[in-house]
Amino acid sequence: MSGLILKNVKKSFGKVKVIHGIDLEVEDGEFIVIVGPSGCGKSTLLRMIAGLENVTDGDILIDNLKVNDKEPMDRNIAMVFQNYALYPHMSVFNNMAYGLKIAGLPKSEIAERVRQGAIMLELDGLLDRKPRELSGGQKQRVAMGRAIVRQPVIFLFDEPLSNLDAKLRIQMRIEIKSLQQRLGTTSLFVTHDQIEAMTLADRMVVMNEGVAEQIGSPMDVFQKPETVFAAQFIGSPAMNIIKAVSERQSLKLVNGTSLKCLTQSNGDVLVGLRPEDLKPDKKGKIVMNVKLFEPIGASTILHGTLNNSDTKIVSVVQGLLSPKDRLSEMSFSISPEAIHLFSRDTGKRIVN
């Protein structure tokens, strides 16, 4: 049984098409992260599932029921918003209870559900406070509590962590993940942050300009990106993309360097090299003119260009480089299996 099915879902605002047809089957209890840059349609997709936007074309099924024309409240979903969207005049208790009151639940059950939710989210001491008396993290917890007490089939998260500071964001990320695992509720989580996507997702949907570029587990997407976009969006620093011409298993990069790879192809391609796959090697073939060293503690990020070309490349070197190791020209090697090949015409991964 699947919790949620999207069948060729499309959305346009007037003549502008924002979502070009998305298919997705979400397993019961799965944590799906929809990730993409701003304006890619990820929030719109979530809002369509919530019922806050109409579906232009295609079907949305929740619990095997078509819900296209149902009101949000009849869809058995709960949503957590980026700016919390708490009712400012209601106490924490009433914020969490409001949906249940409207649903007409008996008072004792409302109290019980809110109490349980509050304990789960460590809000039990705050039930009488107003939202303005809470910190950002507490507000976000109340927003989640409001979702939990409804006991929905699906949780929808619309960038819930974006308004929190960096430290709290990591903490809340872990809490959301463990909460979801404990409750086992199907969840959809929209974010523009690829690290959130990597850490939270069972499967992720990489979206770009209204198209799902790739749907797969974080490791799948990271190790076998299906498009140049997915390759560059997931992973930090982003994957280096270099123009090249291939002939069977040998590649000639834009600056004339030759590389061996495992994938067979002929013609114009794009070569993808993860910065962390570039290993410093005095005899390495890939030569980089280093412009900038960025020490980030455990490793150092090197920014520069491929020699004899103006193609920018980045590499990550373990440890801090001592000044005498900071050369203006450094060589790297890469193992053939770490090389990703993409078609230059379609941007799709080349496999064989």
Partner 1 sequence: MVENRGLNYWLTHVGLSFGVLVLFFPLWLAFVASTVTNSEVIHPPMPLWPGDQFFVNYGRALIEGDSGQTSASVARMLLNTVTVALGIAVGKIVISFTSAFAIVYFRFPARKFFFWIIFLTLMLPVEVRILPTYEVVAGFGMLNTYSGLIFPLIASATATFLFRQFFMTVPDEIVEAARIDGARPMQFFIDILIPISRTNIAALFLIMFIYGWNQYLWPLLMTTDPSMNTIIMGVEQMIGGQDDVTPWPVVMAASMMAMLPPIIVVISMQNLFIRGLTDSDK
**In the complex, which residues of this chain contact partner 1 (CB under 8 A)?**
50-52, 71-73, 77-79, 81-90, 98-99, 102-103, 146, 150
The DSSP bridge pattern shows strands 57-62 and 286-295 to be unpaired
Find the radius of gyration of the CA atoms of the chain.
24
Q: Could you tell me if 43 and 158 are in contact, meaning their C-beta atoms sit under 8 angstroms apart? A: yes
Closest to partner 1 by CB, 56 vs 305, is 56
Distance in Å, CB of 130 to partner 1, minimum: 9
Distance in Å, CB of 99 to partner 1, minimum: 4
What three-state secondary structure class fits 252?
A: strand
Distance in Å, CB of 234 to partner 1, minimum: 28
CA distance 36 to 212: 9
Report the candidate in 150, 139, 155 with the shortest Cα–Cα distance to residue 110: 150
Closest to partner 1 by CB, 89 vs 348, is 89
Distance in Å, CB of 245 to partner 1, minimum: 51
Burial 308-318 (b: 16+ CB within 10 A, else e): ebeeebbbbbe
Q: Give me the amino acid identity at 90.
A: M
Closest to partner 1 by CB, 101 vs 291, is 101
Closest to partner 1 by CB, 150 vs 274, is 150
Distance in Å, CB of 89 to partner 1, minimum: 4
Distance in Å, CB of 68 to partner 1, minimum: 16
Closest to partner 1 by CB, 192 vs 349, is 192
Place of tokens 């490791």: 219
Distance in Å, CB of 142 to partner 1, minimum: 11
Report the candidate in 285, 257, 261 with the shortest Cα–Cα distance to residue 272: 261
Distance in Å, CB of 292 to partner 1, minimum: 41
The DSSP bridge pattern shows strands 31-35 and 186-191 to be parallel
What are the DSSP calls for 269-332, one per residue? EEEEE-GGG-EE-TT-SEEEEEEEEEE-SSEEEEEEEETTS--EEEEEEESPPPGGG--SEEEE
Report the candidate in 260, 228, 234 with the shortest Cα–Cα distance to residue 247: 260
Report the candidate in 92, 90, 86 with the shortest Cα–Cα distance to residue 114: 92
